[in-house]
Amino acid sequence: MAFNSNIEDFDALDNEHIGTSENTPMRNDAFKLNNEEKIDIIKDDVRHIMETLGLDLTDDSLNGTPNRVAKMFVNEIFGGLDPDKKPSASTFDNKYKYGEMLVEKNITVYSTCEHHLLPIVGRAHIAYISNGTVVGLSKMNRIVDYFAKRPQVQERLTIQVVRELQEVLGTKDVACIIDAKHLCVNSRGIRDIESSTVTSEFGGKFKDMGTRREFLDYIKLDTKF
């Protein structure tokens, strides 16, 4: 009875999208198996799920689904769990002495809600103020993509992006805003297709309201080519 009660408690928390840690919860033996071994195990698990649902896996359309899903989990949508895939962020001396805010906006976010394993789709906006070091523009996109490719809550993703860039750049003056739709809200449960979730993390100078407002104003700029 206590076990069932705990399951109900966890289910209620999941519907509230509560995260438990700034770091992605990982077991100590998370990398004991190689990727091929993980794919083989997940393939069998997906097959069992589909068979339990009553699907006929001898059908040509369904026969390869367990393997496709397993490879997708390990190599693609949860590839950000693999520390070997963490992007190396090359930094450079700020020789041109650019001292203003740099903003990379409208970075595409594809992630997965860790409560229901449904997609999170949105945009990230990042800014930093150099203290003598700059980072390649595409590296910011890659950092977002790396941390997004794992089971996530949006709050944690926002924090992880900021913490990583703070470490790479050697400055606290980093900010990130993410605006995203969660299919666990849009396609199930309340099924509200219009709502989106906005999260933010402001470090260093971005805690100042004037600097924060400048960042928000840049995001509003309508960029057309």
- 199 forms beta bridges with 178
| 125 part of the active site | no
| 114 part of the active site | yes
Tokens linked to 58: 């001898």
Catalytic option among 104, 113, 125, 152? 113
| 176 part of the active site | no
| 166 part of the active site | no
- For residue 17, how far is the Cα from the chain centroid? 14
Catalytic option among 104, 152, 184, 201? 184
Catalytic option among 104, 115, 125, 164? 115
| 113 part of the active site | yes
Quick one: three-class SS letters along the chain? Answer: CHHHHHHHHHHHHHHCCCCCCCCCCCCCCCCCCCHHHHHHHHHHHHHHHHHHCCCCCCCCCCCCHHHHHHHHHHHHHCHHHCHHHCCCCCEEECCCCCCCEEEEEEEEEEEEECCCCCEEEEEEEEEEECCCEEECHHHHHHHHHHHHCCEECHHHHHHHHHHHHHHHHCCCCEEEEEEEEEHHHHCCCCCCCCCCEEEEEECHHHHCHHHHHHHHHHHHCCCCC
Catalytic option among 116, 125, 164, 176? 116
Catalytic option among 104, 114, 164, 201? 114
Catalytic option among 8, 125, 154, 155? 154
Catalytic option among 160, 164, 176, 182? 182
Tell me which residues are annotated as active site.
113-116, 154, 182, 184
